[in-house]
Amino acid sequence: MNRLNHLFNTKKENILNVYFTAGFPELNSTVQIIELLSRHGADIIEIGIPFSDPVADGPTIQASNKRALDNGMSLNLLFDQLKDIRKITQIPLVLMGYLNPVVRMGVEKFCEKCKEVGIDGLILPDLPVKEYRDHYQETFKKFGLSNVFFITPQTSEERIRAMDEATDTFLYMVSSPGITGAKSYIAESQIDYFTRIQAMQLKNPALIGFGISDNNTFMQASKFSSGAIIGSAFINALAQDEKLENSIPLFLNSILKKS
């Protein structure tokens, strides 16, 4: 069974998914970040493939993408770094990235490498559902990769149902109209939207992302879903203290309010 499904079968609430950009802060930070995140309480790790033009990302993740590329990060190198990752951790791993580097490598070869290193799911923001069904689904399935779709406050009920059908792990609920970036509160209008989706009783669990930054926003989002995704706030924490063995446990403890 896919590690993601195993997680969702055994844990129903407060699931913490943490995003980081591969190649940030240092070219070779990848394995250490994964190891520290899985040891200190993350449930899923989303590994960002850096891209020159990350159109759905705000300034924090744009900057981490740029720094990663300046450090010399590439998709080939990332797969190299992840070669032995399954000897270290069984935490579900999801690759997040824009489509162009994937297409450049070749979708089949990309999926094959994902399977080789033990990736469980993919988040490709510029791959729409229809395109996925027509051209990608078959290959992803062949290599045991689950595709995760975004739903937003504007996504119609019909479309949400279609995405719920097209995936078998989780849905990524974008918390508000906008790009990625840490925010310190959740607004009333967002809660209406969370409640609306919750009432739809989808077959897959949903995780809420974009703007989740601390214990307060994490706990609030988790009330309306199976958990939440944190990206920019984690990147900020890594940027502030690049001693990963300090900053990562400190950050996770602050989110999960462990002392």
Partner 1 sequence: MKYTVDDNGYYGRFGGAFIPEMLYPNVEELRENYLQIMSDPSFQKEFNDLLENYVGRPTPLYKAARLSEKYGAAIYLKREDLNHTGAHKINNTIGQILLAKRLGKQSIIAETGAGQHGVATATVCALMGMECKVFMGKLDTERQKPNVERMKILGAEVIPVTSGSMTLKDATNEAMRYWIGNPKDTHYIIGSVVGPHPYPDMVARFQAVISQEMKKQLKAQTGSENPDKIIACVGGGSNAMGAFYEYLDDLDVELIAVEAAGEGVNSGRSAATTALGQPGILHGSSTLLMQDDDGQVIEPHSISAGLDYPGIGPQHAHLFDSERALFLNATDEEAMIAGIELSKLEGIIPAIESAHALAALSKLEFKKEDVVVVNLSGRGDKDLETYIKWGKY
DSSP label at 145? P
In this structure, what token pair is assigned to residue 72? Answer: 């010399």
Binding pattern for the stretch 208-227 against partner 1, x by CB under 8 A and - elsewhere: --------------------
Work out which of 102, 111, 208, 244 binds partner 1, going by CB under 8 A: 102
Measured CA to CA in angstroms, residue 98 lies from 45, 109, 128, 239 at distances of 17, 16, 12, 23
Distance in angstroms (rounded) separating the CA atoms of residues 23 and 28: 6
Using CB under 8 A as the criterion, what x/- string covers residues 27-56 for binding partner 1? ------------------------xxxxxx
- Which is nearer to partner 1, 77 or 219 (by Cβ)? 77
115-134: which residues touch partner 1 (CB under 8 A)? 125-128, 131
The answer to the question of residue 69 lying near partner 1 (CB under 8 A) is: yes
Nearest distance in Å: CB 238, partner 1: 20
Query: Binding to partner 1 by residue 249, rule CB under 8 A?
Result: no
Alpha helices in the chain (DSSP H): 3-10, 30-39, 59-71, 75-81, 85-88, 99-105, 107-117, 129-131, 137-142, 157-166, 188-199, 215-223, 232-240, 244-256
Is 46 tagged catalytic? yes
Q: Which of 80-88, 100-108, 197-205, 242-250 is the region at the interface with partner 1 (rule: CB under 8 A)?
A: 100-108
126: annotated active-site residue: no
Catalytic residues, which ones?
46, 57
